[in-house]
Structure 1
Amino acid sequence: MMHHIHYLDKKSVDYLSEKLTNHYLTHPEYNEIVVVGVGTNRYSGDALGPTVGSILQAQFNDNRQIRIFGTLERPVHALNLKKTLTYIAKKHSRAYVIAVDACLGQYYKIGTLQLVEEPLAAGISLNKELPPVGQIHLKGIVNNHGPLNHKVLEHTSLTFVNEMAEVISRIIAKSIQEVVPNLIPAQMPGDQATNQTS
C-alpha cells in the first residue's frame, strides 16, 4: 500500500508519521529502529536520503535503539549498499528498517512524498538492480523522469532537496517517538552497542 502527499501540505508530517507508526504496530516484534538513507552526495537530486540521514543522526545520536546508515559524510549508495545491508542483517537482525530515497516521476508529481509499505527497490530511475531495503520506505519525487536521469539529478535544486529532507526527517522523528516505547528491550550484549553509522 502507498500513501502520498505533497511535502508542502501542512498535514504531511502528521499524515505520514501516523501511517508509518501504524505500519510498525502491525508487527511490533523489533528491538531497535534502523534508518537507511540511500543516495550520494555527488548529485544534489540524489542527496535526499543522505541529508535525511544526517539530520536524524544529529537528533538521535545518543539513542542506542536508533541506528542511522547513510549520511552526507558516509553515504550508502550503489557501490556499498549490499555490504551495508549484510552488516545490518548481521548486527541488527531484529531491527525495523526504514529506507529513504529520492526518486524521479511525472512533472506534476514533483514534491510528492510517498510512503510505501514494502521494501525499497533502489536505483530504478538509473536502471540499476540493487537489493531491496527495509520493511517500508519513504521516497521524495525530486524531479522529472526522462531519458537523461543522471543529468536531471545533477541539476536538481539543492534548496528544494533540503526542504523536502527536513519534512521527511520530521515525519520519521515523530513516528520514532511513538514507536520507541513499543520496542522490545534488547537482550543480547551486542544490542547494547552505542549508536553508529555505516
Structure 2
Amino acid sequence: MGRLSIVNKPGIVESSWHYEDPTCAEKIRDAYCNLLLTLNPGLARQVVIMCIGTDRSTGDSLGPLVGTRLLQYGMTETSVLGSLEYPVHAVNLEQTLARVSESWDQPFIVAVDACLGRTDRIGYVSVKPGVLRPGTALKKELPPVGELHISGVVNVAGFLEHIVLQNTRLGTVFKMADTIARGIWLAHLSLTE
C-alpha cells in the first residue's frame, strides 16, 4: 500500500500511504522525522504545526481534527495551531501566519490539511517537503504555508468541489485524522527522547 519516491533535494523522500494500512502511523512518524531533521537540522528552529481547515465542512475538518487530537495527546497550544475549537481557515490564515511570525524567530511550520484527488487516492496520507497551498481545491488564493506538509485525500476532485467537501464521510476523515495525529505524536516522542 505504501509508495516512496525520491524528490529533488538529496536525502529527502516523499511518502504516501493509505490510512487503513496498519503501520501507517509508524510510516508517517518515520517520514516526518526524516524530513523534519533534514529540513530543520538539529531542530534548531521552533516547530509549529498548523492544522488548516474548518469544522463547518466535513471534508475540510481533517486539519482541525488532527490539531484537536494532538492537543489531547498533550502537545501544547504554542506548538499546535488549528483545532475544532480554534480552527485556522481561509478567513484567519493570514492573521495566524502573522501571529506565528511575531511569536517565534523563523519558526519551522509543518502544515496539515485535507485535499481532494483521484478516486484511487482517497484515504491516502502524504508527507512531503515544501509548502502547502491551502484552498487549491476550491480555487481560493491563499498564502502558501510551511516547509513540510502532511495532507490527506478525503474525496474526489474535479467537479463541484465545494459540494464534494460538504458530502465527505466523517468516519473516513475522523479515522484519517487519528492516524495522522498518532504519526505526528509518535514522531515528537521519538525526537524528544
Q: TM-score, normalised by structure 2?
A: 0.87
CA root-mean-square deviation? 1.6
Q: Does 1:156 align with 2:137?
A: no
Give the equivalent residue in structure 2 for 1:10: 22
Give the equivalent residue in structure 1 for 2:107: 95
Give the equivalent residue in structure 2 for 1:116: 128
Deviation at 1:97, TM superposition (A): 1.7
Q: Does 1:33 align with 2:47?
A: yes
Give the equivalent residue in structure 1 for 2:10: none
Give the equivalent residue in structure 2 for 1:83: 95
Stretches of structure 1 that go unaligned for 5 or more consecutive residues are 182-198
Give the equivalent residue in structure 2 for 1:59: 73
The farther-off stretch of 85-94 and 22-31 is 22-31
Give the equivalent residue in structure 2 for 1:49: 63
Distance 1:129 1:116 in 2: 21
Question: Is this contact kept in 1: 2:36–2:148, CA < 8 A?
Answer: no
Q: Tell me the percent identity.
A: 36
The farther-off stretch of 20-29 and 148-157 is 20-29
Q: Report SS of the residue matched to 1:28.
A: helix
Deviation at 1:179, TM superposition (A): 2.2
Distance 1:93 1:177 in 2: 24
Distance 2:43 2:53 in 1: 28
* 1:17-70 Cα deviation digits (max 9, x unpaired): 111101122222435321111001100000000000011112225x58x61111
Q: Does 1:165 align with 2:170?
A: no
Question: Is this contact kept in 2: 1:30–1:95, CA < 8 A?
Answer: no
Distance 1:25 1:165 in 2: 23
**Equivalent residue for 2:156, pick from 126, 139, 144:** 144
**Equivalent residue for 2:191, pick from 146, 166, 179:** 179
Q: Does 1:135 align with 2:147?
A: yes
Distance 2:27 2:175 in 1: 18
Q: TM-score, normalised by structure 1?
A: 0.85
Give the equivalent residue in structure 2 for 1:193: none
Question: Is this contact kept in 2: 1:6–1:112, CA < 8 A?
Answer: yes
User: Per chain length, whose mean CA-contact separation is higher, i.e. which structure has more relative contact order (CA < 8 Å, sep 6+)?
Assistant: 1
Q: Report SS of the residue matched to 1:47.
A: helix
Number of residue-to-residue matches in the alignment: 179
